Amino acid sequence: MVAEKLASELGRTDIPHRLRGFFYLLMLAPALLVQKVLNNDIWFLLASGRHVLAHGFPATEPLAMHEGLDFVMQQWLAAVIFQAAYVNWGEAGLFAVVSLMYGLIILTIFRLAMRVSGNQFFLSYLVTTASTLWAYLFITTRPYLFSSLVFVLEIYLVETALRSGKRSILTGLPLLSALLVNLHAAMWPMFLVLLLPYLAESLIQALGRRPGLNLVFGRALMLAFLASLASALANPYGWKAMTYLFRSYGHLEISKYISEMLPLNINEPSGKVYFAALALVILLHGLRGLKSVRLRYLFLLSGLFYLSVSSLRNNLLFSILGFFPLADTYAMVSWRWPLSGVTASANDKDRFRARVLSRGLLRGLIAALFVLLVVLSLHLLTRDEQAEVPGHTQLLEILNQVKTDSAVRPLILYTGYNDGGHAEFIGLKPYLDPRAEVFVLANNGQKDIMAEFVHLQTGKIHYRDFIDRYRFTDLVLGPKDVLRVYLPRDPGYELVLVSGDYLWYRQSGSR
């Protein structure tokens, strides 16, 4: 294609080869400086991985106190990877997995930017750095490390097949689909969704007989789409894992109680930051003109923008896939080193009229981007690192005491939403843990336990009715649990131990 050839010629001398190693080190530095904080989900993930390695794939929920709940361990492969790393190398092994996956994500985004920009190194470096520094905010010990890498690899394969004309590359998509559904089934439908902008562009261009993505490629991509749908059945739970997302989200209790599921709020500091970043990406495309943005990228960015606004957690998707289109949009701009202004393509003016930006404007944008990257880097390196649930060491101390104390008596253990995974990690069976979707009726087929817990915390059910329903022998309360208000006045329970922000109540007279 003429555009790619012209972009490649412009990019040949943008960064001398002797300097590229330095830029690679800068680009990969965040992967070596990941947060040394264990995400709250890691505890139930480690317990899940341990269960799979010891007993295989469960059909009923094996970790909590409730019996007979229908169950899909939708993150089983990610859990096994984390457990294997933890057993062999402890917490250092977990952080090594995080660093490795983050490094692979960075490199794949860079290769994707190089692909769509015609191998313009400096432009790809800017795009990748902006993308991965935003992603840094989400990089932790969670399965979406793996799903994020799969998504970037997916788009890289599609772009490579499209631009090189080698449609056989699309045979890698079904393999990625099968891998994703085992690593993180709740995110698997997004694998198919990300192919829709390419299919839509193919259809529109075929109908309009426009140059570019042709009908032959569209047919090949559709076959890969269908093959990816079929290959996802290669998981222990079959269709149940593939449709897990549709039974797990959209529940009022989950959406309101879990902060990461809430929509962006521009009145909050985080909302201002995210909206500003989203607006910056749109502005940068707008400065070049919408006609310079490919149709598939308009579809992709529109979808990512909607997802990001609708839920805080979806900003990870925008961070890894929302920036690389800039590398294509600005591929016709000269990025020679040192920068000597902007030149437009002089060849084939009728087809490729690159918008000429003023030298001052371009330098101003680059300066602003570098300042933003430096500020973000300094913030990430100097901010206080705190666990999502503060004092997990204190919580584990209490739970170990509960386990020892209950060795000679029956134990029915209450923990709140955030704390149940810690109990499962040490071999106890709590009332609840952070796998919110496991405790909704649509998934477990028995009871809406998540709604019950939220109703307890919001005063919609009396605490005594709740306690009598399960006859808890022990209750471990986190810093925000509403039961902290009632149990000090309840003669049926006594305070046994305080550790940090955590309290342990036990039935009176229980030994």
Smallest Cα–Cα separation from 280: which of 246, 322, 247, 233?
322
Q: Copy the structure tokens of residue 450.
A: 């998540």
Following DSSP, what letter does each residue of 18-57 receive, concatenated?
A: HHHHHHHHHHHHHHHS------TTHHHHHHHHHHHHHH--
Q: What was the pLDDT predicted at 389?
A: 45
pTM for the predicted model, two decimal places:
0.88
- Listed as ranges, residues in the chain with pLDDT below 70 are 1-14, 209-214, 251, 253, 255-257, 259, 261, 270, 289, 332-391, 509-511
Following DSSP, what letter does each residue of 443-476 receive, concatenated?
A: HHSS--HHHHHHHHHTTSS-HHHHHHHHT-SEEE
Q: What was the pLDDT predicted at 330?
A: 85
Q: What was the pLDDT predicted at 283?
A: 80
Alpha helices for 352-426 (secondary structure H): 359-382, 392-405, 420-425
State the amino acid at position 46 in one-letter form.
Answer: L
Distance CA 354, CA 265 (A): 37
Q: What was the pLDDT predicted at 351?
A: 39
Smallest Cα–Cα separation from 7: which of 122, 110, 106, 89?
122
Cβ neighbours, 10 Å, residue 344: 14
> For residue range 419-447, what is the model confidence (pLDDT) as tens digits?
999 999 999 999 999 999 999 999 999 99
Q: Copy the structure tokens of residue 32.
A: 């070596």
Following DSSP, what letter does each residue of 206-259 receive, concatenated?
A: HHHT-SSS-HHHHHHHHHHHHHHHHHTT-STTTHHHHTHHHHHS--HHHHHHSG
Say if CB 438 and CB 74 are below 8 A apart: no
Distance CA 222, CA 416 (A): 46
> For residue range 447-505, what is the model confidence (pLDDT) as tens digits?
999 999 999 999 999 999 999 999 999 999 999 999 999 999 999 999 999 998 999 99
Provide the residue count of the chain. 511
Q: What was the pLDDT predicted at 210?
A: 57
Please tell me what DSSP assigns to residue 69: -
Distance CA 181, CA 171 (A): 17
Say if CB 332 and CB 7 are below 8 A apart: yes
498: three-class secondary structure by DSSP? strand
* CA count, 13 A, side-chain hemisphere, 112: 29
Distance CA 57, CA 73 (A): 8
Distance CA 280, CA 136 (A): 18
Say what the alpha-carbon torsion angle 291, 297, 300, 303 is, to the nearest 10 degrees. -20
Distances (CA, A) of 194 to 82, 189, 247, 430, 435: 27, 9, 20, 38, 26
502: three-class secondary structure by DSSP? strand
Is the alpha carbon torsion for 125, 128, 134, 139 positive or negative? Answer: negative
Say if CB 65 and CB 412 are below 8 A apart: yes
Distance CA 432, CA 419 (A): 8
Distance CA 209, CA 232 (A): 34
Q: Order of strands across the sheet with 502-507?
A: 413-415, 474-477, 502-507, 493-499
